Amino acid sequence: MAKARDEFAGQPSQRQLRVGELVRKELSDILTRGQVSDPDLDGVIITVPEVRMSPDLRWADVLVMPMGGRDVEVVLEALKRNAKYLRGQVARRVTMKYTCDLRFVADTRFDDDDLITRLLHEPSIRKDFADGGIDDEDDQGENDRD
């Protein structure tokens, strides 16, 4: 008999999600208040939609995106330069045994959504939807056998 945990393999635990949300909230607050003194971050509004924690809670992948999606590389470099300061600020606000190291990554989920939308609107793909798709034909053949 398989363990109940097997169906959740590879998924973050509740603890990872909870700590990730705490770190996300504090980083958002720090960046919103402009507590980081870096010329590349002055006047830039940065969103932090998600923080993904490692299973041992030692690393945090911080997904960030500057408002409007401009100068992503410049903002990422500035955040990487200030990662030590931001880590210290998070440590003061969130009580943990170990303070996680921060890795900043550009959030590309919106770009991925746009790509999927564009692909779904291509004529060859629309034709598959109009024809009922390949999967529907396979399912009908299986139903005839029953």
Domain encompassing residue 30: 14-127
Q: Is the pTM of this model over 0.75?
A: no
CATH number reported for the structural domain that contains residue 32 in this entry: 3.30.300.20
- List the Cα angle 54/55/58 in 5-degree steps: 55
Average pLDDT, integer, range 118-130: 74
Q: Is residue 48 part of a domain?
A: yes
Q: Is residue 28 in some structural domain?
A: yes
For residues 112-121, average pLDDT: 71
The per-residue pLDDT for range 67-76, each reduced to its tens digit, is 877 788 999 9
Among the listed ranges 6-15, 25-34, 130-139, which one has the minimum average pLDDT value? 130-139
Q: 48 by DSSP, 3-state: which?
A: strand
When divided into structural domains, the chain yields a total of 1
**Residue that the structure tokens 């911080």 belong to:** 62
